[in-house]
Amino acid sequence: MDSFAKTVFSAIQPSGTITIGNYFGAIKNWVELQNKHNCIFALADLHTITVMQDPAKLKRNTLEAYALLLACGINVEKSLFFIQSHVNTHAQLSWILDCYTQFGELSRMTQFKDKSKKHVDNINCGLFSYPVLMVADILLYQADMVPIGLDQKQHLELTRTVAERFNFLYGETFKVPEAYIPKNGARIMSLQDPCKKMSKSDENLNSWVAILDSSDNIIKKFKRAVTDSESCVRYDESKPGISNLITIYSCATGKSFDEIEKEFDGVGYGIFKEAIGECIAENLSAVQHRFSEFIQDKSYLEKCYKESAERALCLSDKTLKNVIEKIGFVK
Ligand code: ATP
Ligand code: LTN
C-alpha cells in the first residue's frame, strides 16, 4: 500500500440476487480499488430489514451474496468484507447520528419516497432513518472514498452534511468522504422499463439480469428487452432502451459508444440484443463457476466474515469511543 492509499468503504444489501446493475455500478469498482487502497466492504443486512423479509430467505441471500462477491473478486487478503449486523458499532453510531439529522433532511430522500410508495403497508421508521445508518457505516471507518451507483449520491451528500455538522459542533471527529461514481454504468436501467433503474428487488424478473442467471436466461432477457420502434444502434438520450443496452455492452467490453455504433452499423436491434446476451453470459460464466465453489465451503465463508468483523469492530470502535467522549456520555 503506498502513501496515496485511501480508506474506501462501501456496502450492498443482501436483498435478493445481485444484478449486473449492482456489478457495473458498484462491485466492479470495489474489485479494482482493492489493489491501491485500504478497502472495507459490508453486506448491509441491517438495511435490508427496512423492507419485510422472510427470515430463511434473508439468511440464504446473505450467504449467497457473500460467496458471490468473493467470486466477483473481493479478496479478503486485501480487504475487509463483513456482515453489517456482526459489528455492533454500526447500530450504536446510527442512533447517535439520528439525533444530529433533521426530519426534513430525511423527508427529502428520493429512495425513501420511492420505497414508501412501493411498500405502502410497511412504511416503518427504519425505512425513514435508513440513510443515517448508511452515514454511520461510512463515518465509522473515516472513509475517504465511497464507490456507489448514482442512486446513492443523495445519501452520500447527507453523509457529508452530517459529518460537517458534527465536526462543527464538537471539533474534527469525522473524515468528510467523497463519492466515487463510475463514468459509465452508474445507472443501469430496467430491461422492461428503461426509465426505471434496474433493481434486484423488482418483481418483474425480466427487468433485471442477475449475475447468477443461466446463459439461456440471460440471452432470453436481452432478447426481450424493451426498445423503441426504430432499429438503428445509436446512443441517444431520447431513446432510453437502446441507450441502456449500449451502456451495458460498453461496460462489459470496455468499448466506447462510437466503437459499438460502428460495430453494429447497418444491423437491426435483434442482432445487437443477441450479441449483448451472449457477451454478458460469457463474461459471467467464470464468476458463476467460482461462486459454485465458494458457496459449498460454508466453513471458509464463516472464517472470512468472522475475521473481517473482528477487525472491523476494532477499527470502528475507535471512532465510536471518540464520539461518545465528545458528546458527554460517562464512560
Ligand atoms: P434494492 O432493489 O433492494 O433496493 P438495489 O438493486 O437497488 O437493491 P443496493 O443494494 O441498494 O441495490 O445497491 C448496491 C450498490 O449497487 C449501490 O452502490 C448502488 O448504487 C448500486 N446500484 C444499484 N442498482 C444500480 C443500477 N441499476 N445501476 C448502477 N448501480 C446500481
Ligand atoms: N444504502 C445502500 C447500501 C449501503 C451503502 C452503505 C453503500 C449501506 N451502507 C455505505 C455505501 C456506503 C444501498 O441500498 N444501495
Q: Domain 205-292 belongs to what topology? A: Tyrosyl-Transfer RNA Synthetase (1.10.240)
Q: Separation of 288 CA from ligand 2 center, angstroms?
A: 24
Sorting pLDDT into bands at 50, 70 and 90, what band is 228?
Answer: confident
Q: Are 197 and 21 in contact (CB under 8 A)?
A: yes
Which one has a higher pLDDT value, 119 or 206?
A: 206
Q: 63-107 pLDDT, tens per residue?
A: 999 999 999 999 999 999 999 999 999 999 999 999 999 999 999
Structural domain boundaries of the chain?
Answer: 7-186+298-327, 205-292
Nearest to 46 by CA among 137, 122, 123, 153: 137
Query: From CA 195, how far away is CA 228, in angstroms rounded?
Result: 12
Please state, in angstroms and rounded to a whole number, the distance separating the CA atoms of residues 271 and 179: 37
Q: How far is the CA of 167 from the centre of ligand 1 (A)?
A: 30
Q: How confident is the model at residue 136 (pLDDT cuts 50, 70, 90)?
A: very high
Cα separation, 223 vs 275, in Å, equals 10
Give, in order, the Cα–Cα distances in Å from 109 to each of 79, 116, 156: 30, 11, 11
Which DSSP string corresponds to 18-47?
PBHHHIIIIIHHHHHHTTTSEEEEEE-HHH
Q: For 55-66, write each residue's pLDDT tens digit.
A: 999 999 999 999
Is the distance from CB of 294 to CB of 69 less than 8 angstroms?
no
At 2, is the pLDDT very low, low, confident or very high (cuts 50, 70, 90)?
low
Fold classified for 7-186+298-327: Rossmann fold (3.40.50)
What is the model's pLDDT at position 202?
87
10 Å Cβ neighbour count for 169?
Answer: 11
Average the pLDDT over 281-286 and give the result: 95
Q: Which residues line ligand 1 (CB under 6 A)?
A: 12-13, 15, 19, 21-22, 25-26, 148-149, 151-152, 186-188, 197-201
**Chain centroid offset of residue 170 CA:** 31
Q: Provide the whole-model pTM.
A: 0.95
CB of 44 sitting under 6 A from ligand 2:
yes
